[in-house]
Structures are given as structure tokens and as C-alpha cells.
């Protein structure tokens, strides 16, 4: 085993000092430690599998059962290589901008981009759609790259507000313009499947900058979503 329970205590202790127990948001950056990627994926998966097995064991589950015995490994792989893949900056999508040779000067809207992320408070799914718009500053990027940027920031433990801001900033950077807008409409399983257990509510977050500070531009974008 690569780490010890002492390491975990230390990590959890640090978190408690910096965040308290009241889930105060830590700004636009995902709160990661500076040494977050000192370990490679394989080492991380071994440690997570070990600890997840302890969770299952504590719940009284029989880890010798055929169906359960590989679950710790499955969960570890899912965390590191699938659902939290976007924690690692090495996995940030390569985006190359090219000249807007079509001379298209209006708003471009990419609607209904799938958002599959996980609430950082409960590690339960948040599922929904993002809609992004921008006005080219002379540069354009491939349409699928808009979806890829959303997907990269979704593949982390998240709060919806932070994810929305992170995507806005990444779009500004990729497109080299402030003329960007994003709406995220998502359902939180931590609201529908536990706690209050309300199925119908969704959470809408909106971030914008540049020309979208203008009410008419924002309204035009919203009209495109109807
Ligand atoms: N602002 C924000 N809150 C979120 C998000 N995802 C989950 N939450 C909320 O985070 C809060 C966590 O608060 P706590 O009171 O510590 O958790 P809890 O006791 O499990 O809360 P209940 O869900 O009310 O039972 C809950 O109200 C969640 O609904 C998010 O993306 N943004
Ligand atoms: Zn939650």
C-alpha cells in the first residue's frame, strides 16, 4: 500500500482546518493541494480501493461475495480515470483556435451540452445541460471543443456555481474574448435522493461577461434557448 491511514488523517485534518465543517465555498479554483498529482493514477487507485473496501467492510458487506469483491477496484478506477478525470490539468482538452474565415459576426450558441458531474458535499451525481454562447473576436474553435471544455470541468467533485465560473473563464481563454455566456440547468441527486428528497427542482446558474453584460444580448441568448 502506498499511503497510510496517518497520511489520510493528515489530509482530512488539513481540510478541516482550512474549510471548517460548514462547506464554505473556496472560490473559482477547485480546492486541490499542491501535491495533488505527485502520485500517479495507479498509486491513487490502489489507495482508494483499499479505503473503499474498508467502507464496505464497515457497512458489513461481505467482500468475499463474487459480486462485491471487485467493487473497491471498480470504484477506484471510476474515481480516478472516469468521473474525476478532470481534476488533473494533464487531462485538460487541447483547444486550438483558428481564424474566423466565415466572417460570421453574430452570436454562436451551443445548446444542450450534457453535464454529468458530482456534488462535492455528498459525492452524488448532478446531471443537466449547459448552454454556452460567444461572439467571435476573430477566432473560432471547433464546436465539439465547447462540449469538451464543459466536460473537463464537470469531471470533478463540484458545486454548480464554481463549475459555471470555471467554464466561463476557460471559454474566455480558449476564444480570447470576454464576449461569453453560460447557463447551466441541473438536477442534484443530493436534493432528490436524500435529505429533502425533492424530485422536481433544478438549479440554474448563469455567468457572463463582455457584450453579454448588455441586457439585449442576454435576452437574445435566452431567446435562442427557447
Ligand atoms: N450552493 C450549492 N449548494 C449545493 C450544491 N450541491 C449541493 N449543495 C448543498 O450543499 C448543502 C450541504 O449542506 P449541509 O447542511 O452540510 O448538508 P446536509 O445536512 O446533507 O443538507 P441537506 O441536504 O439539507 O440534508 C446542501 O444544502 C446541498 O443541497 C451546489 O452545487 N451548490
Ligand atoms: Zn450534495
Tell me which residues have their CB within 5 A of the ion that is ligand 2: 119, 121-122, 190
Closest atom of ligand 1 to CA, residue 160: 31
With beta carbons less than 8 A apart as the criterion, state whether 75 and 52 touch.
Answer: yes
Residue 24 has pLDDT above 80, yes or no: no
Q: Which of 206, 133, 142, 144 minimizes the C-alpha distance to 172?
A: 133
Domain ranges of the chain: 5-83, 98-224
Check if 25 has its Cβ closer than 6 Å to any atom of ligand 1: no
Does residue 188 have an active-site annotation? yes
Can you tell me whether residue 125 is helix, strand or coil?
strand
Catalytic residue selected from 160, 166, 207, 211: 160
CATH tag for 98-224 (out of 3.30.465.10, 3.30.565.10, 3.30.1130.10, 3.40.50.1000): 3.30.1130.10
Check if 117 has its Cβ closer than 6 Å to any atom of ligand 1: no
Does residue 122 have an active-site annotation? yes
Side-chain-side CA neighbours of 210 within 13 Å: the count stands at 19
> Tell me: the pLDDT tens digits for 27-75?
799 999 999 999 999 999 999 999 999 999 999 999 999 999 999 999 9
Give the CATH fold of the 5-83 domain.
GTP Cyclohydrolase I; Chain A, domain 1 (1.10.286)
Does residue 160 have an active-site annotation? yes
Catalytic residue selected from 120, 158, 166, 211: 120
Residue 190 has pLDDT above 50, yes or no: yes
What pLDDT is stored for residue 101 in this prediction? 86
Pairing state between β 125-135 and 203-208: unpaired
Check if 167 has its Cβ closer than 6 Å to any atom of ligand 1: no
DSSP readout, 12-34?
HHHHHHHHTTTT----SS----T
Q: Which helix (H) or strand (E) holds 158?
A: strand 157-158
Q: Which of 137, 157, 147, 136 minimizes the C-alpha distance to 182?
A: 147
> Tell me: the pLDDT tens digits for 88-122?
999 999 998 889 888 899 999 999 999 999 999 99
Strand 107-119's sheet: what is its strand order? 157-158, 107-119, 125-135, 180-188, 203-208
Q: What is the rounded average pLDDT for all residues in the chain?
A: 91
What average pLDDT does range 182-188 have in this prediction?
98
Check if 124 has its Cβ closer than 6 Å to any atom of ligand 1: no
Model confidence band, residue 26 (pLDDT cutoffs 50, 70, 90):
low
> Tell me: the pLDDT tens digits for 137-150?
999 999 999 999 99
H-helix segments, the chain: 5-19, 41-58, 71-77, 143-154, 160-175, 189-192, 215-224
With beta carbons less than 8 A apart as the criterion, state whether 181 and 225 touch.
Answer: no
Annotated binding site: 119, 122, 190
What pLDDT is stored for residue 10 in this prediction? 41
Can you tell me whether residue 95 is helix, strand or coil?
coil
Q: Which of 124, 132, 194, 122 minimizes the C-alpha distance to 166?
A: 132
Does residue 172 have an active-site annotation? no
Amino acid at each position: 500500500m502506498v499511503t497510510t491511514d496517518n497520511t489520510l488523517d493528515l489530509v482530512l485534518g488539513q481540510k478541516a482546518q482550512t474549510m471548517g465543517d460548514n462547506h464554505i465555498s473556496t472560490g473559482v479554483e477547485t480546492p486541490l493541494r499542491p501535491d495533488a498529482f505527485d502520485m500517479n493514477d495507479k498509486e491513487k487507485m490502489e489507495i482508494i480501493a483499499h479505503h473503499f473496501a474498508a467502507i464496505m467492510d464497515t457497512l458489513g458487506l461481505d467482500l468475499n461475495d463474487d459480486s462485491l469483491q471487485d467493487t473497491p477496484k471498480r470504484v477506484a478506477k471510476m474515481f480516478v480515470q472516469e468521473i474525476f478525470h478532470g481534476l488533473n490539468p494533464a487531462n485538460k482538452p487541447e483547444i486550438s483556435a483558428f481564424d474566423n474565415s466565415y466572417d460570421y459576426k453574430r452570436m454562436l450558441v451551443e445548446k444542450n451540452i450534457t453535464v454529468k458531474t458530482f456534488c462535492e458535499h455528498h459525492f452524488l451525481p448532478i446531471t443537466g445541460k449547459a448552454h454556452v454562447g460567444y461572439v467571435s473576436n476573430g477566432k473560432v474553435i471547433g464546436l465539439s471543443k465547447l462540449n469538451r471544455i464543459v466536460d473537463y470541468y464537470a469531471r470533478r467533485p463540484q458545486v454548480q456555481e464554481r463549475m459555471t465560473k470555471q467554464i466561463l473563464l476557460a471559454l474566455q481563454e480558449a476564444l480570447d474574448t470576454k464576449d461569453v455566456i453560460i447557463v447551466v440547468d441541473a438536477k442534484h441527486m443530493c436534493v432528490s435522493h436524500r435529505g429533502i428528497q425533492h424530485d422536481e427542482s433544478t438549479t440554474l446558474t448563469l455567468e457572463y461577461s463582455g457584450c453579454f453584460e448588455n441586457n439585449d444580448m442576454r435576452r437574445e441568448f435566452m431567446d435562442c434557448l427557447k
